[in-house]
Amino acid sequence: MQTHEIRERFTNHFLAAGHSVVPSASLILEDPDLLFVNAGMVPFKPYFLGQQNPPFPSGKATSIQKCVRTLDIEEVGVTTRHNTFFQMAGNFSFGQYFKEGAITHAWTLLTDPIDQGGYGLDPERLWVTVYLDDDEAAEIWETKIGVPTERIQRLGMEDNYWSMGVPGPCGPCSEIYYDRGPEHGADGGPAVDDTRYMEIWNLVFMGKERGEGTGKDSFEIVGDLPKKNIDTGLGIERVACLLQGVDNVYETDLLRPVIDAAQELTGATYQGDGPDAVRFRVIADHSRTGMMLILDGVTPSNEGRGYILRRLLRRIVRSARLLGATGETLEKLMNVVMDTMTPSYPEIAENRERISRVSVVEERAFLKTLESGTHRFDEAASSILASGSTHFSGEEAFALHDTYGFPIDLTLEMAAEAGLEVDRAAFDAAMSEQRARAKADNKAKKHGHADESVYREWVDNHPTEFIGFSELSADAKVLGLVSHGRSITEAKEGEDVEVILDVSPLYAESGGQLGDRGRIISGTTVLEVNDVQKIGKRLWVHKAKVASGGLDLGQTVTAEVDPDWRHGAKQAHTGTHLIHAALRQVLGPTAVQAGSLNRPGYLRFDFNYTEQLTREQLAEIATIANQAVDDDMPVNTIETSLDEARKLGAMALFGENYGSKVRVVEIGGPFSMELCGGTHVEHSSQIGPIAILGESSVGSGARRIEAYSGMNSFRYFSKEAALAANLATWFKAPTEELPDRVSQLSEKLRDAAKQIASLRREQVLANSGKLLDDAEHVGDFTLLTRRIPDGVTSNNLRALASDLRGNLHGRPAVVVLVSVDGDDKVPFVVSATKEAVDLGVNSGDLVKQLAAHLDGRGGGKPDMAQGSGSNIAGLDDAFASVRADLVSR
């Protein structure tokens, strides 16, 4: 029984029992405790915790939830029962049925005959466990279900009591195990050997409430829940092992094809145990998990979910290389995974190109890392061997890891092959030291400074006095000059220098607002300031170029802000506040700022939100923001304590670290109130018009709005108006009629395209009889291969292939049609009569052969399959491959 059928039977079983079918949630939920959904009940937590009422009229639900657990990535493949990605089928009751209902539902599905919708498992091979004192569950199993007493075992809290690890719902469990036979282990039931006796279903009787405590068994049961709930989970992959007659999850229909593809790519053979077998299993497991993560919007990065994905993808590449692969592997592996998973997750089909692109880009980047690291390893190994030693130092292994991103396990493998022994203890020590340095170095890296110690004296004893909120010019003294990380005493004409002043009116970059531009002058000396950065939150570092004259330490100067720059920056920054307020009005309080960039005339605003905004939402946001501009709201600033600011209702943004005194920017009373240290206009009308340019995704759960402010908005609107005027002239219609005119023209073009397609189809179908004259006899089959005139769509090809197949019924025949559509794509279709299918022909397999020659992909059923490629030059070879296939039968 294929895995997708196992899923369907589970869903149908509980649908028939009155459960609401709930689609799988994304692997990424807004849960601060989880990187990924790791259990089937996670999406239902708010209902079990009483935070929300279940939205299911029956009070019962069922789902097959995507899950990922990555705590022990290194252990993947060592055992053959666990995967990082798995599918947890569950049924849930919220105050409806309890122990007897849950047990009956589970037993019926497991043991009912296959022709009655069940899994057909032998009840004599099923064992159950219950909690130590759960006499009620034991009684149900024995008297209601008929499980012999000797196959009911009682286990303690470690095994048979469930909670979420925190105060809240909990309850005893009953688990169902399948006896795989004496060849898999010792007699005695799951209490003796949980390898022979495989757990397949866990029933949680959630009727109690737990108190504080740690671990699985060191907490107090404080009482009963108001309602008794049921949370059960059946492992789809484990049931697939049993129903497909294989020993482990890697032999099932979802993962074995990936291992087979890995064998083709590497030339190695998957058999038995040992390092090679583990690597094959790593490839299979991680390929599927990586694909599902990319499907749900995760992209490789160096932190959080993206880092987990990067580790998975790189472990695939690394394992394939160790097995003998020499080229790229991820595209083929991902295609195989997508083929196996699409029947259960149809949305994969729409995301194939994106999934493939993300994985290929990551692999190519990592292969460059491996290439450079391998070269460095070879040099080091040669030097060590030439000296007569076999000791590969931990420091050298760490340098490979730190400088080249070379994985330690690959270093260990290559060293062993070269007869060298790596000092792993020294490597681990170096890694620990690096982690200790990471936090200290992080801040310096953000500011682009190799070492901040050069600024320490000024940070501690001479912090900058910023007067830029009220002044655009100030007399100041040069306290320090820095060049290339060193303190200097003078800067000459043409040199770049960092200038530290005792007083400055120039704003230092923070809160998303770029640093001011301006000048530092003294007599004939002029320095153009192109950036201002803040060190230690106390010191302003003016990055400047000496345009004329020279500057000496201790010199008195005048620092001036470029007024046009500041005006534009204030407009953009204040406009960001209006956009934020408008967003929250339209989308609700969950749309919180996650980052911003403000420069004169332009703003970029990132916010946490999981869905693309509609045109109507964007228009409403723009209207609210510009209405706030037109209302000429006063912009006030208040300096107060953080606690007082919070009492006022001011928003603190995305994890900023605020001091004891904060600056609250309030616009129009309740319209907007945020903690912000930036520069702002005095009245909202001074922002000028705000032109929203668009909205896009910047990662999983994060969106971005870009907009112009002030004169940039005016220029943008003017350009748009000129474009509309030109179109109005071309269409000879008023601008307000343009949408209708464009729509009418588009409709006419679509109709014309449909008519052309219809005429082509009719023409091709009219000539279908003549096409049969070209059929040839290949072995026991009739074969028709034909390139159809260009411009015929895939739908028309399919209709023609179906028509031709109908004319060939009664004999084993195969029809192969190929065309080139208007977008230079190469659609192709394979159709086989029933007689051909009975002789073993599979159109889906033949389509994949065509795809290999036409640089495309495809799939389908045995009697009809289709695909699309991009290389018509491979047509002759594609047809030849089909002929060869039929001849061989």
> 655 pLDDT exceeds 60?
no
pTM for the whole structure: 0.53
- The radius of gyration of the chain from alpha carbons, rounded to an integer in Å, stands at 34
- Exposure of 595 in the CB half-sphere (CA atoms within 13 A): 8
> 440 pLDDT exceeds 50?
no
Q: CA-CA distances (angstroms) from residue 40 to 14, 45, 285, 610? A: 15, 10, 19, 21
Residue 694 structure tokens:
């668009």
Residue 610 structure tokens:
């999981």
> 888 pLDDT exceeds 90?
no
The CATH number covering residue 630 comes to: 3.30.980.10
**Which distant-in-sequence residues (6+ apart) come within 8 Å of 160 by Cβ?**
129, 130, 131, 132, 134, 154, 172, 173, 174, 175
Same structural domain, 242 and 297: no
pLDDT of the residue at 442 = 39
Instruction: Average the pLDDT over 869-876 and give the result.
Output: 91
Would you say residue 430 lies in a domain?
Answer: no
Same structural domain, 198 and 88: yes
Strand partners, 690: 709
> 599 pLDDT exceeds 50?
yes
Which range scores top for mean pLDDT: 448-462, 696-710, 776-790? 776-790
Summarised one tens digit per residue, pLDDT across range 613-624 is 999 999 999 999
Instruction: Average the pLDDT over 766-795 and give the result.
Output: 82
Window from 332-336, 752-756, 758-762, 807-811 with minimum mean pLDDT: 758-762
Summarised one tens digit per residue, pLDDT across range 735-746 is 888 888 888 888
> 441 pLDDT exceeds 50?
no
The CATH number covering residue 10 comes to: 3.30.930.10
CB < 8 Å & 24+ apart, contacts of 316-321: 316/282, 316/283, 316/286, 316/287, 316/290, 317/363, 317/366, 317/367, 317/370, 318/370, 318/407, 318/409, 318/410, 319/279, 319/280, 319/282, 319/283, 320/262, 320/265, 320/266, 320/279, 320/283, 321/370, 321/410
pLDDT of the residue at 353 = 84
* 680 among annotated binding-site residues: yes
* 676 among annotated binding-site residues: yes
Cα 672 from Cα 392, distance rounded (Å) = 61
DSSP state of 495: -
Residue 231 structure tokens:
């949370």
Cα 756 from Cα 787, distance rounded (Å) = 19
> 516 pLDDT exceeds 50?
yes
pLDDT of the residue at 30 = 61
Strand partners, 556: 477
Cα 739 from Cα 732, distance rounded (Å) = 13
pLDDT of the residue at 210 = 86
Answer yes or no: are the C-beta atoms of 534 and 510 closer than 8 Å.
yes
For 571, counting Cβ atoms within 10 Å of its Cβ (0-12 exposed, 13-18 middle, 19+ buried), the class is: buried
Mean of the per-residue pLDDT values of the chain: 88
Summarised one tens digit per residue, pLDDT across range 279-328 is 999 999 999 999 999 988 787 876 778 888 988 998 899 899 889 998 89
Answer yes or no: are the C-beta atoms of 10 and 50 closer than 8 Å.
no
Instruction: Average the pLDDT over 362-367 and give the result.
Output: 87
Same structural domain, 32 and 105: yes
Domain end (from 251, 277, 298): 251
pLDDT of the residue at 285 = 95
pLDDT of the residue at 274 = 83
CA-based nearest residue to 654, from 512, 779, 780: 512
Same structural domain, 47 and 84: yes
Would you say residue 231 lies in a domain?
Answer: yes
The CATH number covering residue 858 comes to: 3.10.310.40
Would you say residue 429 lies in a domain?
Answer: no
Cα 733 from Cα 92, distance rounded (Å) = 61
**Does residue 520 sit in helix, strand or coil?**
strand
Answer yes or no: are the C-beta atoms of 572 and 709 closer than 8 Å.
yes
799: confidence class by pLDDT, cuts 50, 70, 90: confident
Window from 414-428, 452-466, 869-883 with minimum mean pLDDT: 452-466
Answer yes or no: are the C-beta atoms of 261 and 333 closer than 8 Å.
yes
Would you say residue 424 lies in a domain?
Answer: no
Same structural domain, 246 and 299: no
Strand partners, 869: 826
Cα 102 from Cα 209, distance rounded (Å) = 20
φ, ψ of residue 725 to 5 degrees: the values are -65, -40
Summarised one tens digit per residue, pLDDT across range 60-74 is 999 999 999 987 677
Instruction: Average the pLDDT over 710-720 and give the result.
Output: 93
593: confidence class by pLDDT, cuts 50, 70, 90: confident
Residue 653 structure tokens:
């943004």
Domain end (from 206, 226, 251): 251
φ, ψ of residue 90 to 5 degrees: the values are -140, 155
CA-based nearest residue to 708, from 723, 695, 689: 689
* 577 among annotated binding-site residues: yes
Instruction: Average the pLDDT over 413-440 and give the result.
Output: 78
Q: In what order do the strands lie in the sheet with 661-667?
A: 635-641, 661-667, 672-675
Which range scores top for mean pLDDT: 173-187, 576-590, 791-805? 173-187
Same structural domain, 531 and 579: no
> 248 pLDDT exceeds 90?
no
Mode of pairing for the β-strands spanning 421-422 and 486-488: unpaired
H-assigned helices in 687-824: 710-731, 738-766, 768-771, 794-807
pLDDT of the residue at 409 = 72
For 564, counting Cβ atoms within 10 Å of its Cβ (0-12 exposed, 13-18 middle, 19+ buried), the class is: exposed
Same structural domain, 629 and 537: no
52: confidence class by pLDDT, cuts 50, 70, 90: low
pLDDT of the residue at 144 = 95
Instruction: Average the pLDDT over 634-642 and give the result.
Output: 89
Task: State the CB neighbour count (10 A cutoff) for residue 623.
Answer: 13
760: confidence class by pLDDT, cuts 50, 70, 90: low
Would you say residue 230 lies in a domain?
Answer: yes
Mode of pairing for the β-strands spanning 496-501 and 635-641: unpaired
**Does residue 147 sit in helix, strand or coil?**
coil
- Exposure of 815 in the CB half-sphere (CA atoms within 13 A): 29
Instruction: Average the pLDDT over 545-557 and give the result.
Output: 95
Is 706 or 412 the better-scoring residue by pLDDT? 706
Same structural domain, 244 and 303: no
Would you say residue 381 lies in a domain?
Answer: no
Instruction: Average the pLDDT over 473-489 and give the result.
Output: 94
Same structural domain, 240 and 210: yes
Instruction: Average the pLDDT over 250-277 and give the result.
Output: 93
pLDDT of the residue at 828 = 94
Cα 201 from Cα 106, distance rounded (Å) = 8
For 472, counting Cβ atoms within 10 Å of its Cβ (0-12 exposed, 13-18 middle, 19+ buried), the class is: middle
Parent domain of 516: 452-560
Same structural domain, 101 and 120: yes
Residues in the chain: 889
Same structural domain, 593 and 528: no
Q: CA-CA distances (angstroms) from residue 123 to 138, 186, 806? A: 16, 20, 47
532: confidence class by pLDDT, cuts 50, 70, 90: very high
Answer yes or no: are the C-beta atoms of 205 and 63 closer than 8 Å.
no
Would you say residue 331 lies in a domain?
Answer: yes
**Does residue 817 sit in helix, strand or coil?**
strand
Mode of pairing for the β-strands spanning 126-131 and 85-94: unpaired
Domain end (from 367, 401, 428): 367
CA angle centred on 10, ends 5 and 15, rounded to 5°: 120
Cα 817 from Cα 865, distance rounded (Å) = 11
Packing angle of the helix pair 330-341, 275-295 (nearest 10 deg)? 70
Longest dimension (CA), the chain: 102
Window from 23-27, 554-558, 620-624 with minimum mean pLDDT: 23-27
Cα 810 from Cα 801, distance rounded (Å) = 16
> 609 pLDDT exceeds 80?
no
Answer yes or no: are the C-beta atoms of 232 and 270 closer than 8 Å.
no
18: confidence class by pLDDT, cuts 50, 70, 90: very high
Total domain count for the chain?
5
718: confidence class by pLDDT, cuts 50, 70, 90: very high
Strand partners, 705: 605, 695
The CATH number covering residue 475 comes to: 2.40.30.130
Cα 889 from Cα 882, distance rounded (Å) = 11
pLDDT of the residue at 435 = 62
**Does residue 561 sit in helix, strand or coil?**
strand
Annotate 281-343 with three-state secondary structure. HHHHHHHHHHHHHHHCCCCCCCCHHHHHHHHHHHHHHHHHHHHCCCCCCHHHHHHHHHHHHCC
Would you say residue 412 lies in a domain?
Answer: no
Q: CA-CA distances (angstroms) from residue 620 to 604, 615, 616, 689? A: 18, 9, 6, 15
Residue 387 structure tokens:
């000296």
**Does residue 726 sit in helix, strand or coil?**
helix
Window from 162-166, 205-209, 274-278, 838-842 with minimum mean pLDDT: 162-166
Q: Transcribe 443-489 into DSSP letters.
A: HHHHTT-S-GGGGHHHHHH---EE-TTT-SEEEEEEEEEEETTEEES
Same structural domain, 464 and 573: no
> 194 pLDDT exceeds 60?
yes
